[in-house]
Structure 1
Amino acid sequence: MDAVVDPNRCRMLGLAGSVALVAGGLTAGALPVTEVLVPSSGRAALGLVCAYFGLVLLVAAWWWLGRAVRGPRPPGTRALLTTLATWAAPLLLSPPLFSRDVYSYLAQGAMVEAQIDVYAHGPEQLGGPLATEVPAVWQHTPTPYGPVFLSAAAAAAGLTRFEVPAGILGMRLVALLGVGLMVAVLPALARRCGVEPSAALWLGALNPLVLLHLIAGAHNDALMLGLLGAGLVAASRGRPAPAALLVALAALVKAPAALGLLAVAVVWAGRFGGRTRMVRAALLTLAVALVTTVAVTAATGTGYGWIGALSTPVSPHNWSLTSGLGRLSGALLDAAGSGLGEFAVPTWRRLGLAAVAVTVAVLWRRHERLGTVYALGLSLVAVFVLGPAFRPWYALWGLFLIAAAAPDGRIRHWAAAASGVLALAVLPSGFAPDGLQLTLAVSGGALALLALWWMFLAPGPVFAPRTQAAR
């Protein structure tokens, strides 16, 4: 017989995974430097096994819930939001997971509070406990974040009196505000794009990358995406001026959101006639964005240094496609004795940015057929794939909008598969694994797969016969 998925059992399975992930993160997460354990110690090893055990359970629960969403009796939006809250609740009180960026956020917020120019100095200039938590590679690096986020980080650092544990909770609440805004606008945006809201919520809000990196990792991408989504909803309702303002605020968190101004300009152009309508719309959109930028910068007092800081050096060992090709080309050139190896990485990164520009131009020439939100989502995916820096949570820039606007088919399936793979790509500590850690992570995942296999054979499995579910 065919089988259907019980959403309630998926909810409980995901909760078990979330709890196990948090339990493992207590010894294997991105802990403060005073609490970091030697990776080979028994507690750290057990924590890593436990974390990956929970991670695989959580991804499996999300994947099976997706089958329920696509099934004949899909769960409603309220049930999906309940599931999201259930899975997210344990993560709210966990240590930072999968990245140490939250410590950088706190240090940057404290620098703003201390009136240190974050666009000219790195956390090393701050000194003290917060700066100690920032990885060495970023100690002397100015921040590329805009004044909207820096104001939020400064508030979190100041209100928590620069205490690390309280500050982490403060930054997680900022991220949670962004996730809440994402969840609030996603169904409305999906309806405007002709997509079922439950399908959009499953891919764009219950996505493991949202849980792991926006909530557990407290990344500022949550605030950026929430504001961007709100701006796109305003644009879809024929309110381009507020839309441009909201998208500008999103870009003043992180710069990639500025691409959303293209969507606003397209909507605004629809209100005009004549050959110059796109030019008029672009100028109006740009004017609102500039006024917003000037007003916010004046109110926060952080200055315009973020524009120059957008060229902040990328980690030399990041996983981006262009950086990887650059390192490979550089090694080959050095082996050939050409002396040109040092130019390989910068050249490939420039080629990647050029490819992004071409891809965005092609997509926006076809925006009438694709739809503005879908075209924007694909554009942000291009930035993620071809840009100079690669982090798993960057995939959410495009996935969030693809969830709201992509038609049912291959792209949605690829987006879901990529989300599942990327969810497994980073250790809870945020560092690259050594051989032992990789073995422990694989062991934890294998144990989870064994547990899932057993669940298929146990009475009352996650999948129940269709005839039973219909009773």
Structure 2
Amino acid sequence: MTRCFRLLNRLVFFPQLRPSPGVLALLGALTLPGYAWIAWRYPLWDSFQWPRGGWFPPERAEWGPLPVHLAVYLALTLLWMGGLHVALALGRRGERLARGLVVGIWLTASLLLLAATPAGDSHDVYDYLYRGRLLVEQGVSPLAVAPQETVRQAFYRYTAWKRHVDTYGPVWEYASGGVSWLVQQGLRWRGAWAPTAPTCPLSERSCVMLAAYVTGYRLLSILLAGVTGFFIYRLVSREEPAHSLAALVYWLWNPVVILATALGAHNDALMLVWLVGGLLCLQARRPTLAWLALLLAAHVKLTALIWAPLWGLWLWRQQGLGRAVGSGVVALAVGLPVSWLLYRPLGGWETLPRMLQERMLFVANSPWQLAYHLLREQGWPLDVARFYTIRVPTYLFVLLAVAASAWLAWRGASDSPGRQLWRGMLLVALLYLAVGSFWFQHWYVLWAAAPAALLPHGLMARRVLPWLGWGALASNVVYDVLTRQPEPVVSRTALYAGMVAIIWGPALLACAGLAWRRLRLRRLQGVEASSWPSPAR
């Protein structure tokens, strides 16, 4: 057992590396073959031949690439941790050169992944582009009408959520419509617009259109990730300049960030731009603008509201109850009309009940999915099982988040108020992922990665969260291989339990490594103290 913890200790606490821009560049360059391998092994064009495939075609998953894929993710994680270690040691030495290297390597890795299929990551980008085309070409609101409820158009077979309205907000729908319109104009300009051609994969011209749409949404996500990185850099450079380069490395080189944006094109990137922009407003002592930014983030994904109690309590602590309430009231007075105006062209607030109801129907990749499956196997009614595995986790998270936010806001701490807020946001995000997220996907780690990037020197950010990211990415690959076999390989109970273990196991082992190291240091300090001669009386 001791040997296992020593090995874990070497992985969690990255070995000493010479802090120089050259070493940082070398570590970043070594990640590029990993991203290139993903693009080579899972090409975008080939994946168009199986509309509902993943990393592999349906029922044709191969076991051979699995260990290589997991090893690539592991190597990317370790190299990123090494780069973070070097960036922390560098501080501000050679920062301009190092900053350019960090951005260049991130951009190169992102562009490499444009050639890879998004289907292994998820089918979300296909839903984005289909609903974006519905809005632009048919004038149909994705918030009010499900894809199967309107006239079908090209790429319908690639979508995943055919019977449900979109679960996002109007800010995303307008951004998605903008991308769809720009891609359409680009295709017309190139003479590649062929809406009447047989849909992909039956027509090569249609597949060219599909590739253009996928690339358009990916480029938007990459751009948004870059803007978030810039905001993070500005926040940290004002608070703790010596850690600004490390914060940039933490965000831009994070494998979860690169894969979620350049591969999956997830719209969480848009939510995080508004969220981190709100933190800039708080840092500039503009709480009303910060609340409006949080409101716009919630109009991308409602998930942004998980941080609202913390922000309110933190402002109360920093500015007093009167000013905190005043800024909130002003933001609400401005935000409600803005919300109404955003929703009105898409069906109004009347679209919210159906969306909220459909959000509460499914569980995935969480302990609550395992509990739901076991309850249903025992014959529990569907409504009761959903109550205990969907509503109860939500109520429990709200209780824990408010309690944790109040404790963090009022406890005495040596850190600056800004870092206290960032730590609280990281804690709330982790609580949501562990307790409140009955529907868990690997890119949800982004919600914790953003506040963690503001604290690149913290133990949780450096030594635990990277392993949660690796576990989440690994679970995605393992699940895809197991569920795309011709015959079931494991029972559903074992599958759900295994996914939870893969996601959370590495992070829990990292926590155990930290605890073992701290315990060992305390024992050594105790031995030294006991061996020191007592002063003469």
TM-score w.r.t. structure 1 length? Answer: 0.80
The offset of 1:315, in angstroms, is 6.9
Q: Distance in 2 between matches of 1:84 and 1:2?
A: 23
**Based on CA coordinates, which of the two structures has the bigger radius of gyration?**
2
Cα pair 1:19 1:54 within 8 Å, conserved: no
Letter in 2 for 1:102: V
1:67-121 per-position Cα deviation (integer Å, ceiling 9, x unaligned): 3234467874333222222322211343324111100111221222223242343
Quick one: structure 1 residues 208 and 31, their matched pair in 2 at CA, closer, same or farther if it must change by over 3 Å? farther
Q: Distance in 2 between matches of 1:390 and 1:28?
A: 28
CA RMSD after TM alignment: 3.4
| 1:320 aligned to which of 354, 359, 366 | 366
Residue 167 in structure 1 maps to residue 217 in structure 2: no
State whether residues 327 and 345 of structure 1, in contact with CA within 8 Å, keep that contact through their aligned partners in structure 2: no
Q: Is 1:415 paired with 2:465?
A: yes
Equivalent of 1:140, from 146, 163, 168?
Answer: 163
- Whichever residue aligns with residue 111 of structure 1, its letter is L
Consecutive unaligned residues of structure 1, counting only runs of 5 or more, are: 440-471
Counterpart of 1:130 in structure 2 is 155
Q: Unaligned 5+ residue runs, structure 2?
A: 1-14, 185-194, 196-208, 414-418, 490-537
Amino acid at match of 2:227: L
Q: Which moved more, 1:237-246 or 1:157-166?
A: 157-166
Q: Cα distance, 1:49 vs. partner? A: 7.1
- Residue among 324, 335, 340 paired with 1:294: 340
Decide whether the 8 Å contact of 1:25 with 1:94 is kept in 2.
yes
Higher mean Cα deviation, 237-246 or 403-412? 403-412
Of 213, 237, 241, 2:260 maps to 213
2:224 to 172, 175, 178: 178
1:377 aligns with 2:429: no
Aligned sequence identity (%)? 20
**TM value normalised by structure 2:** 0.71
TM-fit CA distance, 1:303 = 2.3
| Range with bigger deviation, 349-358 or 339-348 | 339-348
How has the CA–CA distance of structure 1 residues 364 and 156 changed in structure 2, closer, same or farther, with 3 Å as cutoff? same
1:18 is matched with which residue: 35, 41, 61? 35
Change (3 A) 1:248 1:100: same
Deviation string for 1:174-201 (max 9, x for gaps)?
Answer: 2123212211101122245548122322
2:109 to 87, 94, 111: 87
Which of 226, 231, 235 does residue 273 from structure 2 map onto? 226
Q: What is the 5 A alignment of 1:346-361?
A: 346-361=387-402
Partners of 1:93 and 1:263 in 2: how far apart? Answer: 40
After TM superposition, the structure 1 = structure 2 runs for residues 116-127 of structure 1, keeping only pairs within 5 Å, are 116-126=140-150, 127=152
Whole-angstrom CA distance in 1 between matches of 2:159 and 2:448: 28
Corresponding letter in the other structure for 1:391: Q
Which whole-Å CA distance do the structure 1 matches of 2:382 and 2:134 have between them? Answer: 37
For residue 477 of structure 2, give the secondary structure of its aligned residue in structure 1. coil
Kept after mapping to 2: 8 A contact 1:209/1:419: yes
Per-residue Cα deviation, 1:202-245 (whole angstroms, up to 9, x for no partner): 33332111111122100000111112111111121112232222
C-alpha contact 1:221 1:254 (8 A) present in aligned 2: yes
SS at structure 1 position matched to 2:265: coil
In structure 1, C-alpha distance between the alignment counterparts of 2:360 and 2:155, rounded to whole Å: 22
Give the Cα–Cα distance (whole angstroms) in 2 for the partners of residues 437 and 422 of structure 1.
25
The alignment partner of 2:358 has SS state of: coil
Partner of 2:50: 33
Rounded Cα–Cα distance in structure 1 between residues aligned with 2:45 and 2:464:
30
Deviates more, 1:255-264 or 1:110-119: 255-264
**CA shift for structure 1 position 319:** 0.9
CA distance in 2, matches of 1:255, 1:367: 23
Residue 476 of structure 2: SS of its match in structure 1?
Answer: coil
Quote the offset at 1:294 in angstroms: 2.5
Q: Give the CA deviation at 1:53.
A: 5.6
Q: Distance in 1 between matches of 2:275 and 2:308?
A: 9
Residue pair 2:372, 2:389 contacting (<8 A) in 1 also? yes
